[in-house]
Structure 1
Amino acid sequence: MKRFLATAGCAAALSLASLGLASAAPPPALAPLPSADIAYSKFVLANGLTLIVHEDHKAPIVAVNIWYHTGSKNEPPGRTGFAHLFEHLMFGGSANYPQVWFKAMERVGGTDINGTTYYDRTNFFETVPTAALDMTLWLESDRMGHLLDKFDEKVLTTQRGVVENEKRQDENQPYAISDDVITRSVWPAGHPYSHTVIGEMQDLDAAAVKDVKDWFSKYYGPTNAVIVLAGDITPEEAKAKVEKYFGEIPPGPPVVHQKVWIAKRTGSQVASVRDRVPLARLYKIWNTPEVGSADDDYLVLLSDVLVGDKTSRLYKRMVYADQTATDVSATVDEREIASLFDVEMTAKPGVSLETLDKAFREELARLLRDGPTAEEVERVKTARVSGIIQGLQRVGGFGGKSDLLASGYTLEGSPDAFKTRLARIEAATPADLKAAGQRWLSDGDFTLQVTPFPDYQASDKPADRSALPAPAAIKAPKFVKFERATLSNGLKLIVAERHDNPSISLHLVADAGYASDQGGKAGAAGLTMRLMPDGTDRLDALQISARLSELGASLSASAGRDTSEIDLSALSARLDPALDLFADVLLRPAFREADIEREKALQIAQIQQDKDDPVQMTLRVLPPLVYGPGHAYAAPLDGLGDEASVTALTREDLVRDYQTWLRPNAATLIVVGDTTLAEIRPKLEARLAAWKPAPVPAKNIAPVSPPAEPRVFLMDKPGALQSVILAAIPAPPRNDPDHQAIKVMNTALGGAFNSRLNMNLREDKHWAYGAGSFDVDARGPGLFIAYAPVETDKTAESFAEVRRELAGIVGERPVTQAETDFAHASMVNALAGEWETNAAVAGSLDAIATYGLADDYFDTLPARIEAITPADAEKAAKRVVQPDRMTWIIAGDRKAIEPGLKALGLKVQVLDADGKPIP
């Protein structure tokens, strides 16, 4: 389940005029926001199935998105969790394809493959190469119409085990208890939303085959579903294909859909609960109107006024000014028959929840009394509209075109409901937001210290289900064409034109990253970057945040392992003022002491939270154990450093970090989107000329050897419901010639859903919600990691199984031809949808720049992958997977798991949360 400063020299050399930002004159009027639309065709089959089609031939892919109008709110008492259970059952195979769904999808290079369940709907979606659409529709229709034909107790037991492990995994996370407490507290007994989506363990245990069959038969018919096809297809082609595969399926019974039931409360209720978390958190909840209502849209905007950017009221008060909270959020949990207005505030160490509550009540009372300002409303409106428009780069996935069409139809009765929302947002006034807030947020708060159908008929032309349709020849993926240039200061420039969406992404990648902390103070690189958008010589953090909101742009800065990055996403109509701000942030950061102290406190708070999270705590201590002292990569994988190192950081340290590492001659600026090299180059020359080159130091990223024998470390997390098992070893750098062979090998071992580790521990044993392996790319030695979050009482057995799988792939069970063929298909076919968004293209160009890959690397990648043989994969496995030389870390309840580990003959060393040995 990644900010900057300026030197006095840079600041002096760069005038406001050179940035195009005169100090006296007001900024020029902004170009209007572009309009948003998704053209679609709608059909209703004879059996009642609704089909919505959007034609988009930008890439040879089609997004398939099916929404069933059923979720946890349809579950009767004693049957909670059924909707979510069925989401998993739908992935377990159907009558004519009794195999795991992901196997077929990954082979053809499907992306955005998932299913989700919420209170009102269950959806399944994938984006596939156009040539694989028939196969995908056959599979989707087979599980809609034929899931129960061969359904039995074994299938139920397998997927019930997966769901129960997901429940344990979720409940093992900090603050997990809040969902259950809030759900039971804010909804009256009997309300459809009065239990959680994942349900109760006893209900899942009691589920019988008949119960499950009855549930499916009632809710998963064509009349209760909508299918959206978006992408490289015409409406006529889509209708013919959907009728072919879905037309034979009987309509299903009428389904009763609960109408609006807001359950507005009066008075104030308070509940408190204790949990194993590092920081106290305050929740404030109100019951509010359903999605699609005018007040819902106004409340969404009002939530952004409270917490949208750094100028928002709660962030500015609690995080920036008072510095009493480490983070705050305000959202509207939008649902079909009622919603929840949710504010969350996490206290800074030593700050009481009463302090947060008092500040929150003051800010809310002021907002409800006076309303938001016109400037606030314009900022939040622009941010919302811009977010929707930029999401339309994609045909699939969350927020993509198919998702908007399906959700609008299912929950609001119209595929283009998003247009109603956009129009309402654009027309919203401060008075609208104030009135909605007064109606719904003045009372009823909960504080925590949840029609008859027409007669349809099935088609008499059933689809051939004797075999899964083979996909047609999938088009060879093509990487974007790009141009290179170098600015006068040595900054390398890469520009890729894409004119299908009125947006532009800038991605600056500099040779710095966490590795540059070597020899300095751990956590400095990340803190330096996080401070970048916090202030320049002429703007503070709040002014920068406000300007971004006005522009409908986003800007972030982060540090990774080898590089530090600044990302700007902007609308092409407002590129010039966005570039002005980008240059100001890059060249004139202020490093104000107040900003430094605030960000240090937030970084320390994040470290404390990571040390309490069972996965993050292992990833923090892993690199020092693998790389050893003195290596540039021997720092926590989150790059945050430790409490002592961050506390000791001074302004001088951060200025030195910026002056040393952020240099144009050691950086590349990648531009992707609605522009050209001829247009963007002079704009950048004018704004970045004052950024001066200088040498940057070398980093110790030399190769390292694994230990001579395996090491096993244990981190105690008392009361943990699961144990997290990690096994790690140094791996070759990203530009190694065997990189793709390692990827092929890893696809078989743990990199795909149907990989050995996942099928063993999830599908066969039911001990884990998911298990797998992956490699961490680096300029120097990378990391290869196998992982398995497992049931506490199966920790030792799971350790043995992971070790057995690692040994098998380099021993008696090398990668087979079938696994190699699957990896070829999965890796190559996935490239068809790999570069759908500007950010995705920029990411691949980043890899070319960062790791020194050839300019034609992605053009030749398919052929190179397909040339990899089982022998190549076996060689790669033996090079990387060395079970007898790996470093193991297990996080869990020591009292419960240590005896079993020692019974395996393991010599276990216990570590504290900082990775220091405990006797």
Structure 2
Amino acid sequence: MIKKISSAAIALFFSFAAFAQEVEFTEYDLDNGLHVILHEDDTAPVVTVGVMYHVGAKDEEEGRTGFAHFFEHLLFEGTENIERGEWFNIVAANGGSNNANTTQDRTYYYETFPSNKLELGLWMESERMMHPVINQIGVDTQNEVVKEEKRTRIDNAPYGKIIYSTGISPYMFDKHPYKNSVIGTMEDLDAAQLNEFKAFFSKYYGPNNATLVVAGNIDKNETKEMIKDYFGPIKAKPEVTRVDIQEKPIQETITATEYDDNIQIPAKLFVYRTPGMAERDAYVLDMISSILTDGKSSRMYKKMVDEDKEALQVLAFNRSQEDYGLYVIGALAMGETKLETLANSMDNQIDRLQNELISEEEYQKLQNNFENRFVNSNSSVQGIAASLATYNMLYGNTDLINDEIEIYRSITREEIKEVANKYLNENQRLSLDYLPTPENK
């Protein structure tokens, strides 16, 4: 009887928590094409203003890699009404915080302020969109900043070429610009002329290529009026032509070796090209990742780390992107374990997924894990703002902030087996040995 009550209580908790996580929002377009999403949350006196632009590293021209990420830095330099170097000072002086980030597919800027500073956040983002100052001194300054970031995050970071895909993507893509790194090359940035930076801004930083999100303690009607005042006068720009490049399927194993000056422990990786983030199969691959390496009771961790003690750590994840994803499975060798041994062990786990249905117990645990993720997601207005922008821009469906969990709930054990057979095959992958740099190399 106690067990039945406990199960019912747990079910009630998840039902209540899922309901409590419902994110209500309003969305509409301005006449200039700017898509606006408003989310009212009165639980704390804070507000996040975020603008996501549909431009990322994949939109760069050949020989000019790194532009999208460079703008993430450059557009904090100043505007016609914000003096150079004052952006961060203004935010801090008003009790706020701000940041930006870039992927292959989009660039996102945001400020979080006390809610009585909402108008300041809207003004600053409209300034960034309408008339930033793009000059040579700003380009030169941020060029040095980006170089230091590349040295810190990639060149001198252990496993940096795995984390940022610079040692993976060139093998997986032949024509698609996903083959290039988000941070780009310093040679490309050094060679770029000022007029090229101005042209990049003019092409991609228009209201009709952006989504504005305001989330937090707001009055919707007042917020709409402020948005109209600050963003309404900005003129639309010519429609952006989206990247539309199809890669030929990988039909035989790609074998490669990458070296890293910053590591002592070698790693073995299998990498597979997978569908875009909005495809149902991408969700199934997320679940496969959880089966393989989510926690100490996961299959790869339990077998390779705990039982056989051949791996120091294991990993499996689907790096979702708008056009294609990359599914990565890997392990760091324990002691003198050969990479071939790790490869065989990983293949054994893949074979299990391809030939056997996961148990009912595993399936229930999997569903519980994703229910928990849903309950814990969007725990701040800052996170909600980013999620709303992402679902709108990259998935084309803002409602997914509430409905995405239903996709995971609907995935079956049979579907997991089917997707493993569809994508995780030896002839469709990169087999990568990631090694410490030899002393004589």
Common topology (TM > 0.5): yes
Unaligned runs of 5+ in 1: 1-19, 450-611, 613-717, 720-919
* Structure 1 residue 351 displacement after superposition: 1.2
Which position in structure 2 is the counterpart of 1:40? 25
CA distance in 2, matches of 1:382, 1:175: 32
Secondary structure at the aligned position of 2:260 is classed as: coil
User: 61, 69, 72: which one pairs with 2:54?
Assistant: 69
Q: Does 1:414 align with 2:397?
A: yes
**Separation in structure 2 between the aligned mates of residue 243 and residue 26 of structure 1, nearest angstrom:** 53
Distance 2:274 2:167 in 1: 18
Aligned to 2:239: 254
Equivalent AA in structure 2 for residue 350 of structure 1:
E
In 1, the alpha carbon distance for the partners of 2:363 and 2:210 equals: 37
Are 1:160 and 2:160 matched, yes or no?
A: no
Give yes or no for contact 2:378–2:387 (8 Å, CA) kept in 1.
no
2-structure distance, mates of 1:135, 1:223? 22
- Within 5 A, what are the aligned runs for 1:647-796? none
Deviations 1:99-158 (A, max 9, x none): 3321111111213x21000000000122111111111111111111101xx421111100
The Cα shift of 1:418 comes to 3.3
Give the structure-1-normalised TM-score.
0.45
Q: How much has 1:387 moved relative to structure 2?
A: 1.6
Partner of 2:95: 109
Q: 1:348 aligns with which of 334, 339, 343?
A: 334
Alignment partner for residue 202 of structure 1, among 172, 187, 195? 187
Pick from 393, 416, 431 the counterpart of residue 433 of structure 1. 416
Check if 1:97 corresponds to 2:105: no
Q: Match of 2:208?
A: 223
Q: 1:552-567 counterparts in 2 under 5 A?
A: none
Aligned partners of 2:173 and 2:247 also within 8 Å: no
Distance 2:330 2:22 in 1: 34
1:435-473 CA-partner distances (Å, limit 9, x unpaired): 111111124011110xxxxxxxxxxxxxxxxxxxxxxxx
Instruction: Kindly indicate whether residue 15 of structure 2 is the aligned counterpart of residue 31 of structure 1.
Output: no
Instruction: List runs of 5+ in structure 2 lacking aligned partners.
Output: none
Aligned to 2:290: 304
Structure 1 position 52, deviation (Å): 0.1
Aligned ranges 1:849-888 → 2 under 5 Å: none
One-letter code aligned to 1:31: A
Alpha-carbon distance in 2 for matches of 1:318, 1:279: 16
- Selected match of 1:176 from 160, 169, 191: 160
For residues 401 and 46 of structure 2, what CA distance do their matches in structure 1 show?
23
| Partner SS, residue 180 of structure 1 | coil
Q: What is the CA RMSD across the aligned residues, in angstroms?
A: 2.1
Of structures 1 and 2, the one scoring higher in RCO (CA 8 A, sep 6+) is 2
Give the direction of change, closer, same or farther, for the CA distance of 1:144–1:28 in structure 2 (3 Å limit). Answer: closer
Q: CA deviation at 1:371?
A: 2.9
In 1, the alpha carbon distance for the partners of 2:36 and 2:23 equals: 15
Q: Structure 1 residues 279 and 108 mapped into 2: Cα distance closer, same or farther (>3 Å)?
A: same
Cα displacement string for residues 879-909 of structure 1 (whole angstroms, at most 9, x for unaligned residues): xxxxxxxxxxxxxxxxxxxxxxxxxxxxxxx
**1 CA distance for matches of 2:219 and 2:329?**
44
User: Identical aligned pairs, as a percentage?
Assistant: 33
CA contact (8 A) 2:41 2:218 kept: yes
Aligned to 2:269: 283
Counterpart secondary structure, 2:381: coil
Q: Distance in 1 between matches of 2:68 and 2:202?
A: 12
Deviations 1:550-602 (A, max 9, x none): xxxxxxxxxxxxxxxxxxxxxxxxxxxxxxxxxxxxxxxxxxxxxxxxxxxxx
Cα deviation code 1:838-883 (max 9, x no counterpart): xxxxxxxxxxxxxxxxxxxxxxxxxxxxxxxxxxxxxxxxxxxxxx
The whole-number CA distance in structure 2 between the counterparts of 1:137 and 1:166 is 29
Within 5 Å, give how 1:379-394 maps onto structure 2: 379-394=365-380
1:488-508 C-alpha deviation (Å, 9 max, x unpaired): xxxxxxxxxxxxxxxxxxxxx
Match of 2:112 among 104, 107, 127: 127
Count of equivalent residues: 424
Closer, same or farther: CA 28–417 of 1 in aligned 2, 3 Å: closer
Give the structure 2 partner of residue 295 of structure 1: 281
**Secondary structure of the corresponding residue to residue 193 of structure 1:** helix
| Residue of structure 1 aligned with 2:299, choices 299, 313, 317 | 313
1:151 maps to which residue? Answer: 134
Instruction: Give the whole-Å Cα distance in 1 for the aligned partners of 2:143 and 2:118.
Output: 30
2:343 alignment partner in structure 1: 357
Letter of the 1:404 counterpart: S
Letter in 2 for 1:389: V
What residue identity is the alignment partner of 2:374? I
- Contact 2:213–2:388 (Cα < 8 Å) also in 1: yes
CA offset at residue 223 of structure 1? 0.3
Give secondary structure in 2 for the equivalent of 1:204: helix
Structure 1 letter corresponding to 2:227 = V
AA aligned opposite 1:409: N
Displacement, 1:242?
1.1
- On the 8 A contact 1:51/1:239 being kept in 2, the answer is no
Picking from 354, 357, 362, the partner of 1:368 is 354
Q: Deviations over 1:675-734 (max 9, x none)?
A: xxxxxxxxxxxxxxxxxxxxxxxxxxxxxxxxxxxxxxxxxxx99xxxxxxxxxxxxxxx
- Match of 2:430, as an amino acid? F
**TM superposition shift of 1:166:** 0.7
2:159 maps to amino acid: Y
Q: In structure 2, which of residues 44, 61, 68 is the aligned counterpart of residue 59 of structure 1?
A: 44
Counterpart of 1:284, as a letter, is F
Give CA deviations for 1:784-830 in whole Å, capped at 9, x if unaligned: xxxxxxxxxxxxxxxxxxxxxxxxxxxxxxxxxxxxxxxxxxxxxxx
Counterpart contact for 1:262–1:290, Cα < 8 Å = no
The amino acid across from 1:406 in the alignment is: A
Deviation at 1:21, TM superposition (A): 8.7
Q: CA deviation at 1:262?
A: 6.0
